[in-house]
Amino acid sequence: MKSAAAVFLGGAASRLLPASVPFRFFGAAVVYHALAWLTLLAAAPEWPRFAGGLGRPLAALHLVTLGVLAMAAIGASLQLLPVATRQPVASERAPALIWWLFAPAVAVLAIGMAFAVPALLAVGAIAIVVALLLFAVLLAANLRAARGMPGVVAHGWAALVSLLVALATALALVGNYVGLPSLARTTALALHVAFAGYGFMGLLAAGVSAILVPMFTLASLPDTRVQLVSCAFAVAGLGLAGAAAAGVAPTPTRVAALACGAIAVALHLMLMRRAIRDGMQRELGRSFMLVRVAWASLVASVAAALGVVLDVALPALTTVFGLLLIGGWLLTLVLAMLQRILPFLASMHGARAGRRAPVPSSFTATTPLAIHFACHLAALAGLVVAAVGESAAIATIAAATGTLGAAAFAVYYVVLVRRMAAPRSVRPRAAIAASR
């Protein structure tokens, strides 16, 4: 079998976007990461008892889901998928337009949520929908012409359909706040959580992980048949979740949806574990410790979701489910992968002028990543404790710790960008492990 690195790197330089395109999305994600923790810090007194509705906790949530997760997903998929599927890079102007629409719109939406201003909420939501529809067009064009990696392509198509459902339900939820109801709030919310969290972001994360994990571990490409079966179970689970949200035997249908999701997760993690076990790169460092935490959180989120469906009497179970899904799995996975993607892309861009590629580790500042690692995990654990104990004090400490970790990650990003711009002669020569 061919290695993932060989498939990915073959002719990759000719399919690179200008560095400013993906890095502007990654930079915005880094900024919104810090803003999300700061907003949660301001919301700490109300967060442990938050039960929905407009307010600072909802703004903090969407600064993560849109400002960090979706922003990083757009940047990564616009650059990585054309390389992986061996397609020429699409228009360079379209990604720039998406960024100029999406980045400020996330801020407008968050302000509208935080201060309960429906007009700002609607303006931000409409601009976000337009930007993500433009992204969907670019993604569809790439997937339609893809050559190779059918498992990744299948996950991409499923993520694309999930994105459309997530956008439709988001507009329905916003409509309820501005007096234009189109779908019952409980139905729209159930669909939005499933298709935005497990659908769009989850399927896209699984597809991109099938590229990145084998590439960074120097392993063979994942088994295509297993990828396709995993994707099929995930799609079936989402379909059942949609039926349950529409009122079709809600409890048994949701249990069946989670069973399908659990099978999809098990198959995906089997492939990822195999890539780590069989890969030639043995020293994977802190970034892959975070990846393992993310995968454990994914499994735990499915278990917590089952508890919510069965109405298990555990304190703050719904809040803990949201923390596991958004913070434990998706946010942790995205931050872990960015630690690998950023220096890797920096190295590839350094080789475009015909020079020998600089070592990715030469772009990495390890101390900020070590601080972020400790703070991120401590903050997530603290939020779980705060939710279960309904403690505003613990929530404040956890949010402050998360803010410190986000600041450290921002320092890492700034150092990397400065080293990209610096002449090679002034970069650190020691090959420090990028994952540490």
Is the pLDDT at 15 greater than 80, yes or no? no
Q: Within 13 Å, how many C-alpha atoms sit on residue 201's CB side?
A: 27
User: What is the predicted pLDDT for the residue at 432?
Assistant: 40
User: What is the predicted pLDDT for the residue at 30?
Assistant: 97
Euclidean distance between CA atoms 156 and 135, whole angstroms: 12
Highest-pLDDT range among 49-58, 233-242, 278-287: 233-242
Is the pLDDT at 281 greater than 60, yes or no? yes
User: What is the predicted pLDDT for the residue at 203?
Assistant: 96
Each residue's pLDDT tens digit, 159-180: 999 999 999 999 999 998 888 8
User: What is the predicted pLDDT for the residue at 429?
Assistant: 47
Is the pLDDT at 237 greater than 80, yes or no? yes
Structure tokens at 233: 């179970």
Phi and psi, residue 3, nearest 5° = -75, 150
pTM beyond 0.85, yes or no: yes
Average pLDDT for the chain: 88
Each residue's pLDDT tens digit, 368-417: 999 999 999 999 999 999 999 999 999 999 999 999 999 999 999 999 98
Position 430 confidence tier, pLDDT thresholds 50, 70, 90: very low
203-233 as b/e: b if 16+ CB within 10 A: bbbbbbbbbbbbbbbbbbbbbeebbbebbbb
User: What is the predicted pLDDT for the residue at 435?
Assistant: 37
Identify the residue whose tokens are 């990461």: 33
Euclidean distance between CA atoms 231 and 53, whole angstroms: 33
Euclidean distance between CA atoms 328 and 3, whole angstroms: 29
In the chain, the percentage of residues whose pLDDT exceeds 70 is 89
> What's the whole-number mean pLDDT along residues 63-91?
83
Q: Flag the least confident range among 22-31, 208-217, 247-256.
A: 208-217
Could you give the maximum distance between any two Cα atoms of the chain, in Å?
A: 66
**CA 341 distance to own-chain centroid:** 13
Position 80 confidence tier, pLDDT thresholds 50, 70, 90: confident
Euclidean distance between CA atoms 55 and 60, whole angstroms: 9
Is the pLDDT at 4 greater than 60, yes or no? no
Position 279 confidence tier, pLDDT thresholds 50, 70, 90: confident
Euclidean distance between CA atoms 151 and 207, whole angstroms: 7
User: What is the predicted pLDDT for the residue at 121?
Assistant: 95
Q: Which long-range contacts (CB under 8 A, 24 or more apart) does 390-395 make?
A: 390/48, 390/49, 390/315, 390/316, 391/48, 392/44, 392/45, 392/46, 392/47, 392/48, 395/40, 395/44, 395/45, 395/47, 395/48
- Of 346, 400, 405, which Cα lies nearest the Cα of 371? 405
User: What is the predicted pLDDT for the residue at 355?
Assistant: 57
- Cβ atoms 165, 235 nearer than 8 A: no
Euclidean distance between CA atoms 375 and 155, whole angstroms: 32
Structure tokens at 335: 């931050």
Euclidean distance between CA atoms 35 and 107, whole angstroms: 10
- Cβ atoms 261, 412 nearer than 8 A: no
Which DSSP helix (H) or strand (E) runs through 370?
Answer: helix 366-389
User: What is the predicted pLDDT for the residue at 334?
Assistant: 96
Residue ranges in 85-149 assigned as alpha helix (H): 93-114, 118-144
Highest-pLDDT range among 12-21, 39-48, 86-95: 39-48
> What's the whole-number mean pLDDT along residues 93-118?
94
Facing residues of 3 across strands?
Answer: 220
User: What is the predicted pLDDT for the residue at 431?
Assistant: 41
CA dist list (Å): 357 to 110, 249, 329, 344, 360: 40, 57, 33, 10, 9
Q: Flag the least confident range among 169-178, 266-275, 386-395, 425-434.
A: 425-434
Euclidean distance between CA atoms 369 and 349, whole angstroms: 22
